[in-house]
């Protein structure tokens, strides 16, 4: 804290300010030491798993997390404009890489923390074909929700899978796009679409809608890898490192698999 | 740069303002002249979109206009189309979203016209409809201009609600604010700047026009 006192006849106000500052200092001191929360910016699709992970991390004595969720690109823009985050959990690999390239994050603090899977989900009463996406009859699809392929990795994966199975041309005019995979899921949950291609993590969601769903064959799209970086500007590099290490440890891996993420492959 | 979103937004704003002027004029008249005890609650209802986050409206509309919803269901049965993800759905959403921006200036304009000119007209043998159309409306023309321009500009800048109801379909529901959001998300700052600056300049000119016309009083209030 700066130790510059105000001069002049405004001593009364200055006193009050000092008392306030003293009270604030006492309050912060009353919290257990080293518990300045780690500020984590997370892509919305990973918010629910992160809340579970945060509890586990705190139980291990890792400290509290302060979580801000948003769209990956929006968070990236905030970070390049000086947002006060310590760790960035993106929905893709591109934006963390850009932050490294721009010197806002360090290359040796850059990991892949999750590998997402895509599921095809249908409204209740609509059966899914045994052959999966390739066997989907277009006339049974009134609306198909996907995330925007230009913005969201799950959207890109959805588009790749539709193209690989030769379904894109037939279904293109029935596709509605959410700005992110969460919004695509919302369209399904509110009954606005007959089918959706969304993240497998939603199959473990407490409020998931009814209806059949099946994992889309991973041969049909590039893996949806989600990367994390520690930001250069962080004031708690040790705590941030501890969190990344935790994310790669057995406890976190178990939680990730519970949420429908694939285990990390060794080839990275 | 693709200008389709601009075109969509201009169409949406025009249709929305037209619908609002037709529906909002009698409502504003009733709010200004009526003596019903329902006036105050209806006034509050009209002002709601000013204070509610647009996502609240968007979320309710997604449920209301959806194929299982109380409005979207019958609509689907009659027309065979869903209301969500359609231009019509955006119009319905925008009408609610911009309701106070049209109704309030009209209400205030009718209030300031007052009952006397109409009483005079009635004494001279004009029917109520004649008196309304030939006396009250011309006297309230500033209110109509303000309502039209404010409703138009407000709809043009709409984002949160149509983001949820529209589904970002190119040439149908991808409006200008959605396009700006997507340009920023994909780091196409040039296109985002161009569209943003266009919206900014248009909005400023529109407001400048109203303020000039009305001598610094714009009638939207909670």
Instruction: Note whether B135 contacts A: Cβ–Cβ < 8 A.
Output: no
User: Residues A63-77: what's their mean pLDDT?
Assistant: 89
Residue A166 belongs to some domain of the structure: yes
Which residue's entry shows tokens 């925008």?
B94
Q: Are residues A69 and A154 in the same domain?
A: no
Stretch A226-252: mean pLDDT: 94
Mean per-residue pLDDT for A105-131? 91
The pLDDT of residue A15 is above 70: no
Q: Is the domain of A54 the same as that of A182? A: no
A98 and A170 together in one domain: no
- Same domain membership, residue A244 and residue A111: yes
Whether A77 is in a domain gets the answer yes
Phi, psi dihedral angles at A30 (to 5 degrees): -70, -25
* Residues A73 and A50 both lie in one domain: yes
Q: Tell me whether residues A177 and B167 touch, CB distance under 8 A.
A: yes
Q: What is the pLDDT of residues A175-214, one digit of tens each?
A: 999 988 888 999 999 999 999 999 998 888 777 888 999 9
Indicate whether A133 and A195 sit together in one domain: yes
Sign of CA dihedral B170, B173, B176, B177: negative
Q: What are phi and psi of A221, to 5 degrees?
A: -150, 155
In this structure, is residue A208 part of a structural domain? yes
- Give the closest-approach CA distance of A6 to chain B in angstroms: 40
Of A52-56, B89-93, B124-128, B212-216, which gets the smallest average pLDDT?
B212-216
Does A72 count as an annotated binding residue? yes
Give A151 to chain B, closest Cα distance, Å: 6
In 3D, which of A1, A31, A36 has the Cα closest to residue A238?
Answer: A36
Class of B3-215 per CATH?
A: mainly alpha
From CA B92, how far away is CA B80, in angstroms rounded?
18
Q: What is the mean pLDDT of residues A255-267?
A: 77
Higher pLDDT, A268 or B129: B129
Per-residue model confidence (pLDDT) at position B154: 94
Q: Which pair of structure tokens corresponds to residue A231?
A: 């930001």
Q: How many domains in chain A?
A: 2
User: Same domain for A165 and A132?
Assistant: yes
Query: Are A50 and A127 part of one and the same domain?
Result: no
Asked if B163 lies within 8 A of A179 by C-beta distance, the reply is yes
Tokens of B9: 């937004």
DSSP of chain B: ---HHHHHHHHHHHHHHHHHHHHHHHHHHHHHH---TTHHHHHHHHHHHHHS-HHHHHHHHHHHSSTTSTTHHHHHHHHSS-STTSHHHHHHHHHHHTHHHHHHHHHHHHHHH-SHHHHHHHHTT--HHHHIIIIIHHHTHHHHHHHHHHHHHHHHT--HHHHHHH---TTTT--HHHHHHHHHHTT-HHHHHHHHHHHHHHHHHHHHHHHHHHTS------
- If you ran DSSP here, which 8-state letter would residue A196 be given? E
Q: Do A149 and A172 have their domain in common? A: yes
* Residue A267: per-residue pLDDT: 44
Q: Is A268 within the bounds of a domain?
A: no
Residues in chain B within 8 Å Cβ distance of A150: 182, 185-186
Kindly state the average pLDDT of the residues A31-44. Answer: 76
Lowest mean pLDDT among A69-73, A246-250, B218-222: B218-222
Same-domain check for residues A77 and A200: no
- Residues of A (173-202) whose Cβ lies below 8 Å from B: 176-179, 183, 186-187, 190-192
Q: How far apart are CA A23 and CA A83, in angstroms?
A: 27
- Report residue B216's pLDDT band, with 50, 70 and 90 as the boundaries: low
Question: Which of B82, B163, B187 lies nearest to residue A73, judging by beta carbons?
Answer: B187
Domain holding A46, by residue range, is: 38-115+223-259
pLDDT in tens, B56-93: 999 999 999 999 899 999 999 999 888 998 999 999 99
Model pTM score? 0.79
Question: What Rg do the C-alpha atoms of chain A give, in angstroms?
Answer: 23
In this structure, what CATH number is given to the domain that contains residue A75? Answer: 3.40.190.10
Are A211 and A185 within one domain? Answer: yes
Q: Is residue A5 part of a domain?
A: no
| CA separation for the pair A135, A129 (Å, rounded) | 6
A111 lies in the same domain as A124: no
B66–A191: do the CB atoms touch at under 8 Å? yes
Going by pLDDT thresholds of 50, 70 and 90, the confidence category of residue A3 is very low
Q: Which of B46-60, B82-96, B162-176 has the lowest mean pLDDT?
A: B162-176
- Is A198 annotated as belonging to a binding site? no
Which chain A residue lies closest to B171 (C-alpha atoms)? A173
Q: Which residues of A, range 71-100, sit inside 8 Å of B by Cβ?
A: 71-74, 76-77
């Amino acid at each position: 804290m700066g130790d510059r006192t105000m001069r002049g006849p405004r001593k009364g106000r200055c006193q009050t300010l000092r008392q306030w500052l003293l009270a604030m200092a006492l309050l912060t001191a009353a919290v257990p030491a080293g518990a300045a929360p780690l500020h984590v910016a997370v892509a919305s699709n990973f918010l629910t798993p992160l809340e579970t992970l945060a509890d586990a991390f705190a139980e291990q004595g890792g400290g509290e997390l302060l979580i801000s969720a948003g769209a990956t690109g929006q968070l990236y823009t905030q970070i390049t404009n000086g947002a006060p985050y310590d760790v960035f959990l993106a929905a893709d690999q591109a934006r963390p890489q850009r932050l490294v390239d721009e010197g806002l994050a360090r290359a040796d603090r850059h990991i892949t923390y999750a590998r997402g899977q895509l599921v095809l989900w249908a409204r209740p009463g609509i059966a899914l074909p045994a052959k999966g996406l390739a066997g989907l009859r277009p006339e049974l699809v009134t609306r198909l929700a996907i995330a925007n392929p230009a913005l969201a990795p799950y959207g890109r994966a959805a588009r790749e899978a539709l193209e690989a199975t030769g379904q894109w041309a037939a279904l293109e005019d029935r596709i509605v796009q959410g700005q992110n995979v969460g919004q695509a899921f919302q369209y399904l949950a509110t009954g606005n679409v007959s089918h959706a291609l969304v993240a497998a993590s939603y199959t473990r969601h407490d409020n998931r809608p009814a209806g059949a769903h099946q994992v889309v064959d991973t041969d049909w799209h590039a893996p949806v890898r989600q990367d994390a970086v520690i930001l250069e500007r962080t004031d708690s590099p040790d705590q941030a490192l501890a969190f990344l290490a935790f994310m790669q440890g057995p406890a976190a891996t178990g939680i990730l698999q519970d949420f429908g993420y694939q285990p990390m492959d060794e080839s990275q | 740069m693709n200008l389709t979103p601009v075109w969509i937004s201009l169409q949406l704003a025009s249709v929305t303002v037209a619908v609002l002027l037709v529906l909002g004029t009698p409502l504003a008249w009733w709010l200004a002249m009526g003596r019903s005890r329902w006036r105050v609650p209806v006034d509050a209802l009209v002002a709601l979109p000013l204070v509610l986050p647009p996502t609240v409206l968007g979320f309710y509309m997604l449920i209301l206009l959806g194929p299982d919803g109380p409005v979207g269901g019958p609509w689907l049965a009659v027309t065979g189309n869903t209301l969500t993800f359609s231009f019509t759905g955006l119009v319905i959403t925008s009408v609610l979203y911009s309701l106070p921006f049209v109704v309030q200036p009209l209400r205030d304009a009718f209030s300031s016209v007052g009952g006397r000119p109409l009483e005079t007209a009635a004494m001279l043998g004009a029917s109520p409809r004649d008196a309304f159309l030939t006396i009250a409306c011309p006297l309230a023309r500033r209110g109509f201009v303000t309502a039209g321009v404010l409703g138009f500009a407000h709809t043009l800048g709409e984002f949160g609600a149509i983001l949820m109801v529209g589904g970002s379909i190119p040439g149908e529901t991808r409006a200008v604010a959605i396009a700006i959001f997507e340009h920023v998300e994909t780091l196409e700052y040039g296109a985002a700047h161009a569209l943003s600056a266009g919206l900014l300049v248009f909005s400023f000119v529109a407001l400048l026009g109203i303020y000039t016309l009305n001598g610094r009083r714009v009638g939207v209030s909670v």
